C-alpha cells in the first residue's frame, strides 16, 4: 500500500494547494489517487475531486474513533494506487489531529512550509518540526515549500534545511489561489478552479516537485488494515432517498451516502435551485448543508420546488436536514442587508445571517426521543459551523437531541422534530455510530408501511 499525508506548519500555509497540485500531477501521469481530508471539513474534501476526479473521504478521529478512521482509510484507499491525505490545521495541532491520524495509520508526512517572507530561517522551523515529530511517533519524510519567489529564493531555502529531504516547491502564482468566503474556500460545485487552472497547477507540481521521490517515500505498512473487518455486503435496495445537491447544498460526508447505499438505499440527486419537482417515487429527502444564503433569491423564487417539498413533508414522509437544509426548511432567510426570502416554511422559525460566525465545534448528541437517526438513549457525533442563527424563541419546540461539545459542556437542546421531519444545525457523521444508516433506512420503511 502507498500513502502519505500532506500536513502543514499552520492553517493557511498551502496544504490544500499542494494537495491539489500533487494529486492532479499524479493523475496526469496515469496514477489513480484516492484522496482524504483529515478532520470535519467538507470544502477541502470537495476540492480534491477537481484534481483526482474521485470522491474524497473525511477521516476524523473525534467523530469516528480509531477503528472508524482505520476502516474508512483501508476501505477507500484500495480504490487508488496511492492515498493522499490532506492534514488539518498545523500537523501537531489537536490531540486527534494530523499527527494522531498519521501515526495511527502509519502514513509518512510531507511537511508544507509557507516560505513567503522567509529564507534561511526556514531551516530552524523545519528542524523544530522534525525534532518534535521524532518525539511524537511520526515520520516527516520530506518538505515542500509553498509561495517561493524565485529559483534563488528556493536555493536559499534548500541550503538552510538539514536532516530531512526537500522535495521541491510551488512558486507564488495566481494559478494556485483559491477563492474564499465566510465558511472557508469556495466549494468545488461552484468551480473555484477551472480545468485549465487545475492542469496548470499539475504542471507546476510536475516541474518543481520531485514526484518520483514523493512516490518512493509513500511506501507504508499495511498491517493497520489487516485488523479491520469488513462492513458486510450491500443489502438489496428497499428505499429511494432524494438528496439535495447543487451549488446551494453540497456539504455531505460522502461516507454517509455510501453507508446509506450499503443499508439498502438508492440515492437520487435533485436541485432545489433548478428542478421544478422532486424525483419520482422517492420515500425520503435528505438536505445537507451548503450556502443557501448565497442563493436565497433563486431558492425562494423556485415556487414549484418549495411546494413540492412542502407537500412531501405534509404527506408524513421522512425528511432529514442539516444546517443549510434547516435554513431552507425554515419560514425564510434574512440576509445581512435586511432582505427576507421565504422558504419552505415547514419549521416554525426564520433564520438570520450574521456577519460573524455563530457556532463552531464538535458535538456529541444523545437522543432524547426516537428519530430517523436512532433511538432514545443512543449517541452519535458531528460538527457544527455556521454564520446563521434562528431568529425567534424556540424554547417551546419539540427537540430530540441533548447536545454537548467536545469538552462535555452541555449546550442547548437541538434536533427540531416536526412529524417525520428532523432538522438540526449539526452535521452528523454516520460512521460515529455504526447503526445510523440502518436506523435511517428502517425508519423510512416504517413510515412507508404506515402510509
**Do residue 66 and residue 100 come from a single domain?**
yes
- Containing domain of residue 304, as a range? 239-450
Of 203, 226, 249, the domain-final residue: 226
**Do residue 212 and residue 251 come from a single domain?**
no
Question: Which has the closest alpha carbon to 387: 351, 345, 423?
Answer: 351
Residue 202 falls within a domain, yes or no?
yes
Q: What is the pLDDT of residues 166-189, one digit of tens each?
A: 999 999 976 656 545 444 545 545
Q: Return the CATH number at 285.
A: 3.40.50.880
**Do residue 217 and residue 274 come from a single domain?**
no
Query: 105-123 burial, b for 16+ CB within 10 Å, e for fewer?
Result: bbbbbbbbbbbeebbeebb
Residue 232 falls within a domain, yes or no?
no
Of 226, 250, 279, the domain-final residue: 226
363 to each of 37, 92, 270, 379, 435, how far by Cα in Å?
19, 22, 29, 11, 18
**Do residue 222 and residue 338 come from a single domain?**
no
C-alpha cell at 328: 431552507
How confident is the model at residue 396, as a pLDDT? 82
**Do residue 213 and residue 245 come from a single domain?**
no
**Do residue 99 and residue 20 come from a single domain?**
yes
C-alpha cell at 421: 421531519
How confident is the model at residue 181, as a pLDDT? 45
Q: Return the CATH number at 69.
A: 3.40.50.300
Question: Which has the closest alpha carbon to 92: 128, 49, 145, 124?
Answer: 128
Residue 233 falls within a domain, yes or no?
no
The CA distance from 56 to 260, in Å, is 17
Number of domains into which the chain is organized: 2
**Do residue 132 and residue 30 come from a single domain?**
yes
**Do residue 191 and residue 320 come from a single domain?**
no
* Residues 333, 351 contacting (CB under 8 angstroms): yes
Q: Residue 184's beta-bridge partner residues?
A: 181
Which residues are marked as active site?
A: 323
**Do residue 96 and residue 185 come from a single domain?**
yes
How confident is the model at residue 228, as a pLDDT? 54
**Do residue 113 and residue 65 come from a single domain?**
yes
Residue 437 falls within a domain, yes or no?
yes
Of 198, 226, 254, the domain-final residue: 226
- 3-state class (DSSP) for residue 295: helix
C-alpha cell at 300: 425562494
* Residues of the chain with confidence (pLDDT) below 50: 179, 181-183, 185, 188, 190-191
The CA distance from 180 to 43, in Å, is 10
**Do residue 208 and residue 286 come from a single domain?**
no
How confident is the model at residue 82, as a pLDDT? 97
Residue 205 falls within a domain, yes or no?
yes
Amino acid at each position: 500500500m502507498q500513502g502519505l499525508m500532506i500536513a502543514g506548519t499552520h492553517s493557511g500555509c498551502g496544504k490544500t494547494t499542494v494537495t491539489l497540485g500533487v494529486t492532479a500531477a499524479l493523475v496526469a501521469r496515469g496514477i489513480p489517487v484516492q484522496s482524504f481530508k483529515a478532520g470535519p471539513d467538507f470544502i477541502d474534501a470537495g476540492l480534491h475531486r477537481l484534481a483526482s476526479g474521485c470522491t474524497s473521504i473525511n477521516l476524523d478521529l473525534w467523530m469516528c474513533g480509531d477503528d472508524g478512521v482505520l476502516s474508512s482509510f483501508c476501505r477507500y484507499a484500495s480504490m487508488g494506487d496511492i492515498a493522499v491525505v490532506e492534514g488539518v490545521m498545523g500537523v501537531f495541532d489537536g490531540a486527534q489531529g494530523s499527527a494522531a491520524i498519521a501515526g495511527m495509520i502509519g502514513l509518512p508526512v510531507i511537511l508544507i512550509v509557507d516560505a513567503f517572507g522567509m529564507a534561511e530561517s526556514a531551516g530552524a522551523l523545519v528542524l523544530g518540526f522534525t525534532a518534535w515529530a521524532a518525539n511524537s511517533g511520526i515520520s516527516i519524510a520530506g518538505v515542500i515549500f509553498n509561495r517561493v519567489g524565485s529559483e534563488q529564493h528556493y536555493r536559499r531555502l534548500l541550503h538552510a534545511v538539514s536532516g530531512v529531504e526537500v522535495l521541491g516547491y510551488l512558486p507564488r502564482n495566481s494559478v494556485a489561489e483559491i477563492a474564499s468566503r465566510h465558511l472557508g474556500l469556495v466549494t468545488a460545485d461552484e468551480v473555484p478552479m477551472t480545468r485549465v487552472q487545475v492542469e496548470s497547477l499539475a504542471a507546476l507540481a510536475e516541474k518543481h516537485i520531485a514526484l518520483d521521490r514523493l512516490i518512493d517515500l509513500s511506501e507504508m505498512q499495511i498491517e493497520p488494515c489487516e485488523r479491520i473487518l469488513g462492513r458486510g455486503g450491500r443489502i438489496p435496495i428497499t428505499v429511494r432517498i432524494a438528496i439535495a445537491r447543487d451549488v446551494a447544498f453540497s456539504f455531505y460526508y460522502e461516507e454517509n451516502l455510501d453507508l446509506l447505499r450499503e443499508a439498502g438505499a438508492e440515492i437520487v440527486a435533485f436541485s432545489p435551485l433548478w428542478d421544478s419537482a422532486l424525483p419520482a417515487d422517492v420515500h425520503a429527502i435528505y438536505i445537507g448543508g451548503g450556502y443557501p444564503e448565497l442563493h436565497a433569491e433563486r431558492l425562494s423564487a423556485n415556487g414549484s420546488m418549495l411546494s413540492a417539498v412542502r407537500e412531501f413533508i405534509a404527506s408524513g414522509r421522512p425528511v432529514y436536514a442539516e444546517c443549510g437544509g434547516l435554513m431552507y426548511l425554515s419560514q425564510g432567510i434574512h440576509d445581512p442587508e435586511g432582505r427576507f426570502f421565504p422558504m419552505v416554511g415547514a419549521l416554525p422559525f426564520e433564520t438570520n445571517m450574521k456577519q460573524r460566525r455563530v457556532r463552531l465545534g464538535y458535538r456529541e448528541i444523545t437522543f432524547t426521543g426516537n428519530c430517523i437517526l436512532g433511538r432514545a438513549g443512543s449517541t452519535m457525533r458531528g460538527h457544527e459551523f455556521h454564520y446563521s442563527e434562528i431568529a425567534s424563541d424556540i424554547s417551546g419546540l419539540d427537540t430530540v437531541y441533548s447536545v454537548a461539545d467536545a469538552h462535555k459542556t452541555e449546550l442547548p437542546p437541538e434536533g427540531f422534530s416536526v412529524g417525520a421531519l428532523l432538522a438540526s444545525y449539526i452535521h452528523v457523521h454516520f460512521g460515529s455510530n455504526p447503526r445510523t444508516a440502518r436506523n435511517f433506512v428502517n425508519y423510512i420503511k416504517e413510515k412507508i408501511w404506515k402510509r
